[in-house]
Structure 1
Amino acid sequence: MLYKFKSKAAGDVIMTGPAGDQIVRLLGKEPAPKGIIEPPQMPDAIAALERAVQEDEAARRRAEEEAEAEGRSLPPREGVTLRQRVWPLIEMMRRAHAEDHDIVWGV
């Protein structure tokens, strides 16, 4: 399944199923073929995504510090980081909130 987040305030944001499921869960919603984020929910949704990015990056730093203390190094991260993955959706939410537009997917 693909997630296609749409809003009148910004261009579409498309994510694969697993990535979209993860993001929707971070927003406090259950993954579903259809959904909506309404403007009043957006500040909390943005904060939740930013908090998840901070936690992800802090976990990576801890892992790197532990590896360094043990005299080894972690392999570089592969693929897209959480920060890179959520940035387009956060920007969409900021614009949609400012213009009082919903964000929907699956419709």
Structure 2
Amino acid sequence: MLITFTSKAAAEVTMYKEHARRALELLHKNVDRGVLTFAETANAIKVIEDAVAESRAHPISEEVVHDIEAHPDDDDNEHEHEQEAVAKVSFSARMFPLLDMLRAAHKKQHDVIWSE
């Protein structure tokens, strides 16, 4: 399921609902549809920026997981190697377009709305 964010201040932003959920829950907003008024945008920017900073400070180490899976265990059994490396997209990368929209909306004093 996709969520589309729109504002008169910026181009629309579309993302998977599961990715938008974290930001919207941090803002105590309904995931399916809602509005961030101009008055709420400053706080929304701060909340999401803080969550991005926190996610950067404590990243999950994929290298450690891969290293454990790629080496033999105590019984000398080798784990199968991953067939293909999958690139993970960070929370900060996912939030960048939304933060950009929120900043533009705040600067131009517009609301941000979203729906499925």
- Short-chain TM bin: 0.7 to 0.9
Q: What secondary structure sits across from 2:89 in the alignment?
A: coil
Shift of 1:56: 0.9
Identity of aligned residues (%): 32
Amino acid at match of 2:21: D
CA RMSD of aligned residues (A): 2.2
The residue type equivalent to 1:102 in the other structure is D
- Give TM-score scaled by structure 2 length: 0.73
Pair 77,38 (structure 1): closer, same or farther in 2 beyond 3 Å: farther
**Which residue pairs with 1:42 in the alignment?**
41
Q: CA 1:77–1:54 in 2, change beyond 3 Å: closer, same or farther?
A: farther
Q: Over alpha carbons, which structure has the higher Rg?
A: 2
Q: Which has the higher helix share?
A: 1
TM-score, with length taken from structure 1: 0.79
Gaps of 5+ in 2: 67-84
**Which amino acid is the alignment partner of residue 26 of structure 1?**
L
What letter corresponds to residue 86 of structure 1 in structure 2? M
4+ runs deviating over 6 angstroms = none
In the alignment, structure 1 segments of 5+ residues that lack a partner are 65-71
Q: Distance in 2 between matches of 1:42 and 1:22?
A: 16
Helix, strand or coil at the partner of 1:30: coil
